[in-house]
Amino acid sequence: MIKIGFGGKARPKSFDYKPRYYDEAKEELQEKIKKYSPSEENNLSVENMKNRVKSGLRMKSYGDPNTRAKAERQSNIRLLLIIGVLILAIYVIMSSNKIVTLLESFSK
């Protein structure tokens, strides 16, 4: 059956918890201390490895925006240089008579 009515589907309520007191620097310091503290238990060392991987990924994604912009700029310049060299090489190859002689030698 076709439902006719106004409005859309009911959307689920979202959970938007904002802590009242949050110190990001203090949390990072505690994670670093926990990362380098010696641990005797195997389970704790696994947790330390997980935290190290997590912090490494976080630092890569939230790294310095200037460094990322510089890397993108260098990558774009390198790409343009490669495209320019390829275009020049294609032009030189197509304008020379060696291609024609090579094709003629294959057709004989």
**Global pTM value:** 0.40
Residue 87 pLDDT level (bands cut at 50, 70, 90) = very high
Of how many residues is the chain composed?
108
pLDDT at 56 over 90: no
Helix axes 42-61, 24-36, angle to 10 degrees: 140
More confident call, 56 vs 40? 56
Predicted confidence at residue 50, as pLDDT, reads 80
Please give, one letter per residue, the 3-state secondary structure of 23-57: CHHHHHHHHHHHHHCCCCCHHHHHHHHHHHHHHHH
